[in-house]
Amino acid sequence: MSAKAEENAAGDEQQVVTPWEVAAKPGAKIDYDKLIDQFGCQRLEQNLIDRVQRLTGRPPHVFLRRGVFFAHRDFEEILSAYERGDKFYLYTGRGPSSEALHLGHLVPFMFTRYLQEAFKVPLVIQLTDDEKCMWKNLSVEESQRLARENAKDIIACGFDITKTFIFSDFDYVGGSFYKNMVKVAKCVTYNKVVGIFGFTGEDHIGKISFPPVQAVPSFPSSFPHLFPGKDHLRCLIPCAIDQDPYFRMTRDVAPRIGYQKPALIESSFFPALQGETGKMSASDPNSAIYVTDSAKTIKNKINKYAFSGGQDSLEKHRQYGANLEVDIPVKYLSFFLEDDEELEHIKKEYSAGRMLTGEVKKRLADVLTELVERHQAARAAVTNEMVDAFMAVRPLPHMFN
């Protein structure tokens, strides 16, 4: 009996975090400390955040200050090298499975944009249309269409076109990228991917073939037009921690094929409106705020679905105050309300019972409406020509300027 099977037999249900499933124990929140232990990554300590501030000469992003990005692998090495004058490149991505992005999808891109600006480094963004074609059983054409639609939302986040290459796997796999896929695949047994990703014999071989596709953008030689002769350039991957299995595998393989291990900086999940037992899901429209939602929809969704830590009656609320640990409006504000003082004020008043759920929800609706409307305006300005320009296979001559 495997260790996992034994645990299940003992009735001790575990939290599940894989690239395809995020579920806390029944009735519980995701235990991030346990995830750090389980995955073997490091906690992102305050001294590293201070160092980011010092090296970039600007205040750390709200996602750093508030622990949204909370774990890392070798981020310290990246900073030390940067301090010595050695740049790096950023790699992040998206599986284009739905037309509209929700707020959870924006988190890594907002943070990546900040990293690009703060460190002045190039960025590659992988659209895994091949993955979604295989996992969601979409046609090739539909996956590619969604990839381009999603690219518009990504571009709307404000990336610098002189430092950013966005690519679709269906368009870009080949050449040096494919050679690196083969090099990685040679080093990983079927048993190994079963251990990492939980595949079974009934899974199709497309799934089993995919991990190298997500692995190889970690290696600069996969982008000969971007990084010619820079095979030892380090890569930093900002992503949600559910993507860690791909990069554990990548880091395991890298030294065996003569490449640098990618470093990671990993975020917690953006929770569903209904509460913090998993991540926001695009497949349940009532669990998520979409970047396409109207002000009215946002207000209604928050009022109707956002799980409140406030008390059942006004009387009890005034007496006991809100439980901020489970309160979704406060959680969302901690992602998107930039003003630290105002956030502290809300948390203090709300937990003391002087502020009501309705007031907090109103403030959240305003904050998200502003964010979403700003995004919608930016996206409306993204033309097909701009998508083509970001996705053109080209050198980026000013990528480190």
Phi, psi values for residue 332, rounded to 5°: -60, -40
Pairing assessment for the beta strands 21-23 and 42-43 based on DSSP bridges: unpaired
For the CB of residue 7, give the shortest distance to a copy of itself in the complex, in Å.
22
Q: Report, in Å, the least distance between residue 202 CB and a copy of itself.
A: 5
Q: Which of 176, 157, 182 is nearest to 225 (CA)?
A: 176
Q: How far is the CB of 53 from a copy of itself (least distance, A)?
A: 42
Nearer to a copy of itself, 2 or 47 (CB): 2
C-alpha to C-alpha distance for 399 and 335, rounded to whole angstroms: 29
Strands 42-43 and 69-73, sheet pairing: antiparallel
Q: Which residues contact 378 (CB under 8 A, 6 or more apart)?
A: 156, 157, 158
Residue closer to a copy of itself, measured from CB, 54 or 186: 186
- SS3 letters for 365-388? HHHHHHHHHHHHHHHHCCCHHHHH
Residue 193 tokens read as 């991917």
Contact partners, residue 122, CB within 8 Å, separation at least 6: 89, 90, 116, 163, 164, 165, 226, 396, 399, 400
Smallest separation, CB 149 to a copy of itself (Å): 19
Q: Which is nearer to a copy of itself, 57 or 201 (CB)?
A: 201
Q: Which position has the token pair 């004058």? A: 85
Q: How far is the CB of 241 from a copy of itself (least distance, A)?
A: 23
List residues binding a copy of itself (CB under 8 A). Answer: 130, 133-134, 137, 140, 169-175, 178-179, 182-183, 185-191, 193-194, 199-206, 208-209, 211-212
Q: Which two tokens stand for residue 334?
A: 């901690």
DSSP 301-363: HHHHHS---S-SSHHHHHHH---TTT-HHHHHHHHH---HHHHHHHHHHHHTTSS-HHHHHHH
Shortest distance in whole angstroms from residue 94 CB to a copy of itself:
18
Distance CA 203, CA 94 (A): 22
Which residue in 22, 213, 207, 190 sits closest to 133, CA to CA?
A: 207
The least CB distance from residue 394 to a copy of itself, in Å, is: 17
Q: Considering the complex, what minimum distance in angstroms separates the CB of residue 173 from a copy of itself?
A: 5
